[in-house]
A and B are shown apart, each in its own frame.
Chain A
């Protein structure tokens, strides 16, 4: 009985970094640097990236230090990414949406004007 309980609990980690039991089954797709990535509707861009194993969100020029999730509450502003062409958006304060286009940026980034928006 105890062994069974232990085995049950040892299955608590799902594939990837999503913990089980995973109550939310819905998924949506966004792109990260052009690659399709799954996310949950309740994800922020930061939690979706970390769930996909992406710890490094971008980089700063000069020292090449990473943008990354650190405080996840909008205080440190170290999780900057480019969202739908708009640079320097905090990944932790941005909810995912179907088809959201997320790109890494270097330094302050640049506006991506593709004429479609």
Chain B
């Protein structure tokens, strides 16, 4: 039984490494040049990232095939199984597998607010990438819209405030517009007040990437509260498994890793039968 795991973040790496260690032929596909997914831009104090790196080594030691820098842009059912369409730096290829594990994570939710296209408007994930991966704080007057991911930023926010950076948290509900010419200058609220700003961060949630699941005919359900489409469960078709953010949306690391462990148990259980 051939398995492809799409996404080399915490969930995908866990699933791929454990399946490979169990003796199953696994191909792990990730669009970035290095594995780790969100672990690449986790806070340096997050200790679980070390475990994720160790998983990559475990997987490679057990002979799993790793294809980094490769986007899995399509998935189709063919007579031999599931055909995944790949794009590696512009070079097209495809692989056919019996089972696919979708661990391709989430995308930040954004809303088309007036002024949302100005330079200086970022997603919460983009802010974490700048801060945690590149050691860059994009501005000195930062307005954070919404509260998602705030716990991941809380300690840093205090540190930045002590250093004189102005951080204001506003609800999406009271945001009227982001103002400026080319670049962000202020955030206008429903009561008419304006908050001076050079950076606006959308922190209003993250939703699963369900495109590949949809291409495989897996029904998805819109969750109005979480503003995203979700697959119904971790095994929505006989040959499809879903774990990590692609299943859960925004979730803590323990939940993410557990969802991968559950998928591994499901697959190895089926193989044993």
Q: Which chain A residues lie closer than 8 Å to B138 at the CB level? A: 17, 50, 55, 69
The binding surface of chain B is classed by DSSP as mixed
Report yes or no: B163 in contact with A11, Cβ–Cβ below 8 A.
yes
If over half of A's interface residues share one DSSP class (helix, strand or loop), that class is named, otherwise mixed; here it is: loop
Q: Is B125 touching A68 in the complex (CB atoms < 8 A)? A: no
Given contacts A11-B163, A12-B159, A47-B136, are A68 and B129 in contact (CB under 8 A)? no
A56 touches B119 (CB 8 A): yes
B160 within 8 A of A: yes
Once A56-B119, A65-B117, A68-B119 are accepted as A-B contacts, the answer to whether A18 and B129 lie under 8 Å apart by CB is no
Asked whether A69 lies within 8 Å of B162 as measured between CB atoms, the reply is no
Residues in chain A near residue B130, CB distance under 8 A: 47, 50, 72
Query: What residues on A are CB-neighbors of B45 within 8 Å?
Result: none
Question: Which residues of chain A have C-beta atoms less than 8 A from B139's C-beta?
Answer: 17
In the complex, are the beta carbons of B121 and A70 less than 8 A apart?
yes
List, in ascending order, chain B residues with CB within 8 A of A67's CB. 119
Using a Cβ–Cβ cut-off of 8 Å, how many residues does chain B contribute to the interface with A?
33
- The answer, yes or no, to whether B123 is at the interface (CB within 8 Å) is yes
Task: Say yes or no for B252: interface residue by CB 8 A criterion.
Answer: no
Cβ B122 vs Cβ A72 within 8 A? yes
Tell me how many residues of A have a C-beta within 8 Å of chain B.
37
A10 interfacial by beta-carbon distance below 8 Å = yes
B218 at the interface (CB under 8 A from A): no
When the two chains form their complex, are residues A9 and B119 in contact, meaning their CB atoms are under 8 A apart?
Answer: no
A13 touches B183 (CB 8 A): no
Beta-carbon contacts under 8 Å, B14-65 to A:
31, 33
* Candidate in A51, A59, A74 with the most chain B CB atoms within 10 angstroms: A51
Contact among A24, A47, A71 for B108, CB-based, below 8 A? A71
Contact sample, A vs B, 16 pairs, CB 8 Å cutoff: A6-B162, A10-B162, A12-B162, A17-B136, A17-B137, A17-B139, A19-B137, A47-B134, A50-B136, A56-B182, A65-B118, A68-B121, A69-B122, A71-B122, A73-B126, A74-B31
